[in-house]
Amino acid sequence: MTETHDDQAINADGKKPLKMQEAVHVEVADDIPAELEALLHTEPLHGLTDAEVTERTAQFGLNEIPEHKTNPLLKFLSYFTGPISYLLEIACILSGVFKDWIDFGILLAVLIINACIGFFEEARAESALDALKNTLALKSRCWRNGKLVEVDSNTLVPGDIIALRLGDIIPADCRLLGVGVTGEITEGTLQIDQAALTGESLPVNKGKGATAYSSAIVKQGQMLAVVTKTGINTYIGRAANLISITTEEGHFQKIINSIGNFLVIITCVMALALFFVRVWAVPEKPNAPLGDRVRHSLLEVLVLTVAAIPVGLPTIMSVTMAVGASQLAKKQVIVKRLTAIEELASVSILCSDKTGTLTLNQLSFDVPYLSNRGNTTDNFEGTGVRYTEQDLLLTSFFASEPGAQDAIESAIRGAAQERVTVLKERVEQDHHIPGYKVNNFIPFNPTSKYTEATVTDLSTGKQFRCIKGAPQVIVRMVGGHDEATKAVNDFALRGLRALGVAITVDEAMTKFEMVGMISLLDPPRPDSAHTIEECNKLGISVKMITGDQQIIGKEVAHRLGMHRTILDASKLIDDSIDEEALIDRCVKCDGFAQVIPEHKYKVVELLQKRGYLVGMTGDGVNDAPALKKANVGIAVEGCTDAARSAADIVLLAAGLSTIVDGVKTSRAIFQRMRSYALYRIASTIHFLLFFFISICAFGFSLPPILIIMIAVLNDAATLVISVDNAQISQRPDKWRLGQLLTLSGILGVLLMIISFAHFFVAKDGFGLTTLPEKDNEGVENAGKLQTIMYLQISSCPHFVIFSTRLPGYFYENVPSWVFILAVAGTQVFAMFMSIYGVKVFEATAIGWGWGVSVLAISTVMFMLLDVVKVAIIRSWSFELTVKLYPTKSRKALLQERVAKRVVKERALANIAKCRKVLYMTMGLVAWRRTFENGGKRKLLVGNSSSTIVIN
Active site residues: 353
Residue 891 CB neighbour total at 10 angstroms: 13
Could you give the dihedral angle defined by the CA atoms of residues 922, 927, 929 and 934, in that order, rounded to the nearest 10 degrees? 170
Q: What's the CA angle centered on 697, arms 692 and 701, to 5 degrees?
A: 55
Distances (CA, A) of 619 to 118, 656, 662, 945: 26, 12, 18, 43
Closest CA to 352 of 220, 518, 542: 542
DSSP string, 481-500: -HHHHHHHHHHHHTT-EEEE
Amino acid at 804: T
Rounded distance between C-alpha atoms, residue 416 and residue 390, angstroms: 8
Taking the alpha carbons of 785, 791, 797, 800 in that order, is the dihedral positive or negative? Answer: negative
Helices 657-698 and 776-799 sit at what angle, rounded to 10 degrees? 160
Rounded to an integer, what is the distance from CA 765 to the centroid of its chain?
A: 61
Residue 179, beta-bridge partner list: 185
Taking the alpha carbons of 827, 833, 834, 835 in that order, is the dihedral positive or negative? Answer: positive
Rounded distance between C-alpha atoms, residue 166 and residue 187, angstroms: 17
Taking the alpha carbons of 454, 457, 462, 467 in that order, is the dihedral positive or negative? Answer: negative
Residue 578 CB neighbour total at 10 angstroms: 10
Helix (H) or strand (E) holding 616: strand 614-618
Amino acid at 666: S
Nearby residues of 678 by Cβ (< 8 Å), 6 or more positions away? 740, 743, 744, 747, 804
Amino acid at 871: A
**CB contact at 8 A, 23 and 495:** yes
Buried/exposed code over 671-692 (b: 16+ C-beta within 10 A; e: otherwise): bbbbbbbbbbbbbbbbbbbbbb
What is the rounded radius of gyration, in angstroms, for the C-alpha atoms of the chain? 37
Helix (H) or strand (E) holding 528: helix 528-537
SS3 sequence, 872-884?
HHHHCCHHHHHHH
SS3 sequence, 325-370?
HHHHHCCCEEECCCHHHHHHHHCCEEEEEHHHHHECCCCEECCCEE
Closest CA to 370 of 938, 947, 949, 946: 946
Q: What's the CA angle centered on 106, arms 103 and 109, to 5 degrees?
A: 145
**Residue 517, SS3?**
strand
- DSSP single-letter state for residue 281: I
Rounded to an integer, what is the distance from CA 665 to the centroid of its chain?
A: 15
Closest CA to 359 of 564, 600, 547: 547
- DSSP single-letter state for residue 763: I
